[in-house]
């Protein structure tokens, strides 16, 4: 019994020494719990407020201006744009600039005086059910009235939900799943690329070849680009057949955006591969970068509900921009040119990650 205990303690000491030498694993022991605590405790918030909104005030009266000010004071929306018609608001919503549109009709004063019909119209991007649920709170907003009688019309707004009026979760989740699956698989594939060559001894062969470092980096990611586009095809096909997910935009725009996003995630994987010493460390770093993206990108939790600091951090993550792009093309029918402001961060991320990977990699064994 004593000998058995002694052998067990010897193995325990060996594992403890190995853990102490593996600084990355030792850091993950403390880093992951702290990161999850900060993300779930500080960044994740289901109480969605400050939705970007546009206003088309066709009445141009004192009461209509007060009504818009009351809507902004509710903190449910922040007025970030003005338009001359409901059609302009729909264009801004389709391009992703606003989530809510407030249309005050020409006969706003008559509607308020009679109190028989909604005083205004509320246009909501229904592709995100959390946005629709938050915006519905504005429907109970009181309308300013003069004189005796009820202080509000029977309904402040007539609500129009766009892109997902049935509020089906699959319509929201399936397009975003394209980005989530690509992030997980593409990053992991290339995260072990350089490490695997080193562990198998193939790096020695690469050192003796005339292949330059940039050429090696590009050659590592090209096969996985094709795999990523194949995954996009499978997910979209299954989403349409099994969940009746609409495809309102052009498929060529979908594949063009997916191509840039796949390149960006592969660049991240290569950078991880130059940082890790073993495949196990590469898996750890992949998970460490994947967790913030899935939590902060707007896939699981509403983006507009997060604090400003968390939103700024999320803007640095490729998945945040791709989810906006893919939902815009598939659900809202916007063109890639119309949502191009979300594409250039992916290009910058790819260039930065590939540059850092090239600078860090050396064709040497040390």
Backbone angles phi, psi at 50, to 5 degrees: 60, 45
When pLDDT is cut at 50, 70 and 90, the band that residue 315 belongs to is: very high
Q: In this predicted model, which residue has the larger pLDDT, 130 or 206?
A: 130
321 pLDDT more than 90:
yes
State how far Cα 116 lies from the chain centre.
41
What integer is the mean pLDDT of 63-78? 87
Tokens of 325: 């792009």
CB atoms within 10 A of CB 118: 17
pLDDT in tens, 152-210: 445 678 888 888 878 788 888 889 999 999 999 999 888 887 777 676 666 656 566 66
Q: Which of 8-12, 96-100, 217-221, 232-236 has the least mean pLDDT?
A: 8-12
Pinpoint the alpha helices (H) of 53-168.
62-73, 86-94, 108-114, 129-135
Q: Are 179 and 290 in contact (CB under 8 A)?
A: no
The domains of the chain, with CATH numbers, are 51-162 (3.40.1710.10), 169-360 (no CATH)
Q: Quote the pLDDT of residue 265.
A: 93
- Helices and strands (H and E) in the chain: how many: 15, 5
Q: Which of 167-171, 198-202, 326-330, 338-342 has the least mean pLDDT?
A: 198-202
Q: Quote the pLDDT of residue 152.
A: 46
Q: Work out whether the CA dihedral 210, 212, 218, 221 comes out positive or negative.
A: positive
pLDDT in tens, 79-116: 999 999 999 999 999 888 898 999 999 988 888 888 77
When pLDDT is cut at 50, 70 and 90, the band that residue 354 belongs to is: confident
Pinpoint the alpha helices (H) of 39-119.
62-73, 86-94, 108-114
pLDDT in tens, 18-49: 666 666 665 666 666 776 676 666 666 667 77
Q: Quote the pLDDT of residue 208.
A: 62
What integer is the mean pLDDT of 323-350? 92
Q: Which of 50-59, 242-251, 278-287, 341-350 has the least mean pLDDT?
A: 278-287
Separation in Å, CA 316 to CA 301, 319, 346: 17, 9, 9
């Amino acid at each position: 019994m004593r000998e058995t205990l002694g052998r067990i303690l010897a193995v325990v000491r060996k594992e403890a020494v190995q853990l102490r030498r593996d600084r990355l694993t030792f850091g993950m022991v403390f880093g992951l719990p702290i990161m999850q605590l900060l993300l779930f405790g500080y960044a994740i918030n289901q109480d969605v407020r400050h939705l970007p909104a546009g206003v088309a005030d066709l009445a141009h009266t004192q009461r209509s201006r007060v009504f818009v000010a009351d809507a902004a004071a509710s903190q449910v929306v922040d007025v970030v744009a003005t338009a001359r018609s409901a059609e302009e608001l729909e264009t801004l919503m389709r391009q992703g600039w606003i989530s809510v549109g407030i249309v005050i009709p020409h006969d706003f004063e008559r509607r308020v005086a009679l109190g028989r019909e909604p005083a205004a119209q509320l246009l909501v991007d229904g592709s995100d059910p959390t946005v629709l649920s938050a915006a519905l709170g504005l429907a109970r907003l009181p309308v300013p009235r003069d004189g005796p009688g009820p202080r509000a019309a029977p309904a402040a707004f007539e609500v129009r939900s766009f892109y997902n009026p049935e509020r089906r979760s699959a319509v929201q989740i399936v397009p975003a799943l394209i980005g989530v699956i690509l992030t997980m698989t593409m990053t992991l594939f290339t995260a072990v690329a350089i490490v695997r060559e080193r562990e198998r001894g193939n790096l020695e062969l690469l050192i003796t070849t005339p292949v330059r470092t940039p050429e090696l980096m590009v050659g590592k990611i090209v096969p996985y680009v094709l795999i990523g586009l194949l995954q996009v095809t499978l997910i979209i096909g299954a989403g349409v057949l099994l969940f009746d997910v609409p495809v309102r935009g052009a498929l060529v725009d979908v594949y063009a955006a997916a191509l840039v996003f796949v390149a960006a995630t592969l660049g991240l994987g290569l950078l991880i591969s130059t940082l890790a010493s073993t495949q196990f460390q590469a898996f750890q770093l992949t998970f460490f970068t994947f967790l913030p993206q899935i939590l902060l990108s707007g896939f699981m939790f509403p983006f507009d509900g997060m604090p400003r600091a968390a939103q700024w951090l999320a803007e640095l993550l490729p998945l945040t921009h791709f989810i906006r792009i893919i939902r815009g093309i598939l659900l809202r029918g916007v063109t890639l040119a119309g949502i191009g402001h979300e594409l250039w961060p992916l290009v910058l991320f790819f260039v930065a990650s590939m540059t850092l990977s090239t600078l860090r990699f050396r064709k040497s064994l040390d």
